[in-house]
Amino acid sequence: MTIRTVALCATLMMLTACKSEMQVTGDVFVATRGGQTYKLALVNVRAFAEEDVRKATTAQAQRANASVIRMPALLDSLTKQATAATARLAALGDAPGSSANLNVWKLSYTSPAFPMVGDKSRWNAWRLAYLDSLFLATRISQAQANPDSVVASMMASIVDAFPPPVATAKSDADGEFVLTLERGKRYALHAEATRAVFNNTEQYEWLIWVTPSNDGARVILANDNMVDTAAGREAKFQIEQWMQMEMKMSAK
């Protein structure tokens, strides 16, 4: 094969790859109840290939199964610690001061400025024992969670488990963005944004499926397809189903 032939083949391959890619355009905005529309600038829009999302889901499912397997031993350990904390608390009796102030003491344990009553060292010992009992009660509740709860916990951070995106774009002053993606492949688009509204900050998140095609349709990220809407839950719901399926398969 001559150098000219090799160069021609390489050029053809590059042209074929270029033809398989296309620009996907979109808009990020929110609409208020009053009908006003706010375009969101500087929003980082990330595209993840479906096969990468599946791999990340499989890894999360394996971690979820490991958590479920460890639960009985963890629960036993936490229960023993909780029993010891309860015994320490019982030995100290009510919080220092009158028993009528017990609830006040319970609510004030995080305030270092709260006036101490009686023996300071005894109050500190009571506070530590009480905090231990609260913390352990919460941990026990978490350890008793069923696999569905474990899946829910894993799903809350599923995007963080994704590998690096295959493409990223940042919305401009008009809320518009452009991504270069492969035609016909399926991608998960993820974006997060905030907007200051008086004294509050609103949080927005999107996770949707897109498949670039020649129809030229724009991708819209708005109120009606955020992750907490029916339309916006589709991608997360499918990923959750994948995780549950992977957990069942890896548990066999």
Domain boundaries, the chain: 23-61+155-251, 71-145
pLDDT at 132: 80
DSSP secondary-structure letter at 125?
H
CA distance 252 to 246: 10
Residues 6+ apart with CB under 8 A from 79: 140
Task: Judge whether residue 40 has pLDDT over 80.
Answer: yes
- Residue of 15 and 52 predicted with greater confidence: 52
Highest mean pLDDT among 88-97, 115-124, 204-213, 233-242: 204-213
pTM, two decimals, is 0.65
Over residues 124-144, the mean pLDDT reads 75
Banded model confidence at residue 209, pLDDT cuts 50, 70, 90: very high
| 195 touches 40 (CB < 8 A) | yes
SS3 call for 190? strand
Range among 42-56, 101-115, 118-132, 229-243 with highest mean pLDDT value: 42-56
**How far is residue 50's CA from residue 154's CA, in Å, rounded to a whole number?**
18
User: Which band of pLDDT confidence, cut at 50, 70 and 90, is reported for residue 176?
Assistant: very high
Binning pLDDT at 50, 70 and 90, where does residue 42 land? very high
| Residue 171 token pair | 């919305």
In the predicted model, what is the mean pLDDT of the chain? Answer: 79
Pick the CATH number of 23-61+155-251 from 1.10.287, 3.40.50, 2.60.40, 1.10.3470: 2.60.40
Based on the number of CB atoms within 10 Å of its own CB, is 232 exposed (0-12), middle (13-18) or buried (19 or more)?
buried
Query: In the prediction, which pLDDT does 70 show?
Result: 64
Cα(236)–Cα(162) distance, integer angstroms: 13
User: Is residue 188 pLDDT above 50, yes or no?
Assistant: yes
